[in-house]
Chain A
Amino acid sequence: MSPAAALGAPAVTATRRYKAARQLARRPAAMAALAVVLGFIVVALAAPRLAPYDPNAIDYRALRKAPSAAHRLGTDEVGRDVLSRLLWGARASLLAGVVPVTLAVALSVPLGLLSGSVGGWVDGLIMRVNDAMLSIPFLIVAIALAAFLGPGLGNAMIAIGIAALPTFVRLVRGTVLAIKTEEYVEAAQALGCSRPRVAVRHILPNTLPPLFVQVSITVAAAIIAEASLSFLGLGQQPPAPSWGSMLNAAQRYLSPAPWMALYPGLMIFGIVMALNVLGDGLRDVLDPRHQ
C-alpha cells in the first residue's frame, strides 16, 4: 500500500484513531515521554502553588547559596530561589513551545491546502517564497526577526512561529498532493463537491497524522529556540524567569555557583527529549513509511 493510500479516507475514522492510540500505548518509551510532557504541563500550571518562594524575590542575605534545606536547588546571583524560578520558567518555555507552533499551523494549513489543491502560479509563488524561507536556517530567522522586532517573549514567539512556518507549509502541501489523486477524492469531485469542500472535508483530515508528528518535533525545537533567544537576551526579559535567561546569568558564575547552570539546562533537555521520543513514537504509529 502506498503511503498516500495508507493515509486515505478510512484512515481517520474513529476506529483508526483508536487503533493508533492503542499502538502508541503499547510503546513504553512513548508513554513515559507522554507522562514527562504532562508532568511539565502540570508543573507549569501549578507553578504558583508548587514554588516555595516568589520567583522574583531578591534576598541579598542569600546570594549564590548552594542547594540546602531552605533552597533545594540553591539561589542565584541576587539571592532568588532557583527552584521557584525553574517552576515558573516552565510557563515561558511551554508557552514558547505551543504558541509559535499554533501560529505556524494556523497559517500553514490554509497556505498548504491552497498551494496543493489549486496548483499553477499560486502554488509556484507560495513554494518559491517557502523555499526562500527554508533556505535561511531556523535559528537565524528567529534571531534576525527577534532582533528587528525588538526583544521580548511575545516577539520571540512571533519570530519562532514565522521561522517554523515553511516546514509546515511544505508538509501540508506535500500531503495534499499525495492525497489529491486518491480515488475517494476523485469520487467526491465526481459527485459534484466544490473545490473548497473537497479540500476541507476530504483532504484536510488526512493531512493531520503527519502534522501531529511534525507538531511534536517542532514544539521541541521551539522550546530550544526560545531558550536560545532568551539566553542571548532577545526573549523573556528579566526579571521574569525563563530557563534560557537563567542560563545566561549562570554563565558568569560557573565556578562559584555551578547549580545555577545545571538545573535550567536539565529542564530544557528533559522536555525536549520527551517531546522527541513522543514524536518518534507518533511517527512510528501514524506514518506508514516508518512501520
Chain B
Amino acid sequence: MALWLYVARRLAVLVPTLFFVSVLIFSLQQLLPGDAAVALAGEENDPAAVAAIRARYRLDQPVPVQYGLWLGRVLAGDFGESLRNRIPVRELLASKLPVTVELALCSMLIALVIGIPTGILSATRKGTLVDVVANFFALSGLSVPHFWLGIMLILLFAVRLGWLPASGYVPPWEDLRQNLTTILLPSVVLGTGVAGVIMRHTRSAMLQTLGADYVRTARAKSVPERLVVLKHALRNALIPIITLGAIEFGRLLSGAVLTEQVFAIPGFGKLLVDGVFNRDYAVVQAVVLVSASLYVLLNLGADVLYFLANPRLRGTT
C-alpha cells in the first residue's frame, strides 16, 4: 500500500474522532450547575457581563445550534477570551505551548537515555540480578506519583542542597543556563516515568529479536556479541520503540499538568489548572481540545513512522 493511501485512510478515521472529541468538550459546558451564562461569567456576577456572555455564546439558542456556532468559531481559531485577563485564549495557548514542548522534549531525552540502555542490559542479562533490579526501577518509575517525586526532589536539591531552583521558569532566549537549571528537575520527574515504559518495551522487543533466527545465524557466523546485540537485534527492536516514543511524547505534552503545577512552570498544564480554579471555562475547553488534537496527530505520526520503518506492512492492504 502506498504511503499516501495509508495516511489518507488514517485521516479519514481521524475526522470523526476529532468531531466526537469536540462534541464531548462542548458538552462539558452542559455539566455546569445552574445557568451556564452565570457560571461562565465567573465570580463577577455582573448582570451586564452575564448578558454579554449570553449574547456572545448565543446561550438562548438550542444546544445543537450553540454547538455549531462554537465549532465554527473554534475552527476559525477563535477560542474566546480568558475571563481572568481578557486575553484571547488563542494567544494564551500560543505562549504556553512552547514551554510544554520544551519540557516534553527534555523529559523524552532523559527517558530515552535511561530507558533504552537499561532495556538492552536487562534483556541481554535476562533472569540475573541486573534484570531484576532494572525491572524494579522501571516499575517504580511507573508507580511513583510524579507530583510527589517532584516535591521530594525539590526538598533534596533545592531546599536541602540548594543546587537548583525550587520552581519557576526562564525562557531559553533570555538565559539558556538558567533555563536548563529550571527545566532539569521537572524533566527528570517526567522522564523517569516514561523511562520505565521505554525500558520495559525495549526489554521485551530485544528479547524477541535476540531469539530470532537471523540473530542466531549472526552468532553462528561468530559475529562479536556486541555487534549482534547493538546492530542485529537492536535495529529491529527499535521499530516498536520509535512508535512508542511518539505516543509517549504526546502523553508528555498533556501529562505534565501536576509537574508544571509543582514546579510553577507556566506551560499548558498550569494553564489548565489555573483555568479550572479561575472557573475560566473557555481556557479549560481550549486546552483539552488542543491537547486531544495534538495527541491524536502524534498517534497518527507514530503509525506513519511504524509504517515507514516496517517494510512488511507496505505489502499488506
Contacts and interface: CB of A to CB of B under 8 A. Distances in A.
A264 B254 CA distance: 25
B148 A220 contact: no
Contacts of B139: 273, 276-277, 280
B21 interface: yes
Nearest to A162: B24
Given A137-B251, A276-B143, A234 B31 contact: no
A37 B237 CA distance: 35
Contacts of B148: 227, 247, 261, 264-265, 268-269
A122 interface: no
Contact of B262 (A133, A150, A251, A280): A251
B258 A232 contact: yes
Interface of B: 13, 16-21, 23-25, 28-29, 31-33, 139-140, 142-145, 147-149, 151-152, 154-155, 159, 251, 254-255, 257-258, 261-262, 272-273, 275-277, 281, 284, 287-288, 291-292, 295-296, 299
Contacts of B277: 233
B301 to A, nearest CB: 14
B31 A148 contact: yes
Given A137-B255, A144-B284, A220-B143, A150 B33 contact: yes
A149 interface: yes
Given A135-B21, A139-B255, A231 B147 contact: yes
Nearest to A264: B148
Contacts of B254: 137, 139-140
B89 to A, nearest CB: 15
Considering the complex of A and B, which 7 residue pairs feature the smallest CB-CB distances, nearest first? A132-B20, A265-B148, A273-B143, A147-B276, A148-B31, A272-B143, A137-B254
Contact of B276 (A234, A261, A269): A234
Main secondary structure of the interface of A (DSSP, over half): helix
Contacts, number: 132
A254 B145 contact: no
B205 to A, nearest CB: 14
B17 A258 contact: no
A131 B17 contact: yes
B16 A128 contact: yes
A11 interface: no
Given A135-B292, A136-B291, A143-B257, A269 B143 contact: yes
A2 interface: no
A254 B149 CA distance: 13
Central interface residue in A128, A147, A251, by most chain B CB within 10 Å? A147
Nearest to A149: B31
A82 interface: no
Contacts of A46: none
Given A133-B24, A136-B21, A273-B140, A143 B155 contact: no
B299 to A, nearest CB: 7
Contacts of A224: 145
Given A136-B295, A140-B272, 7 more contacts: A135-B17, A135-B18, A140-B257, A140-B291, A228-B258, A254-B155, A280-B139
A13 interface: no
A250 interface: yes
Interface in A268-286: 268-269, 272-273, 276-277, 280
A137 B33 contact: no
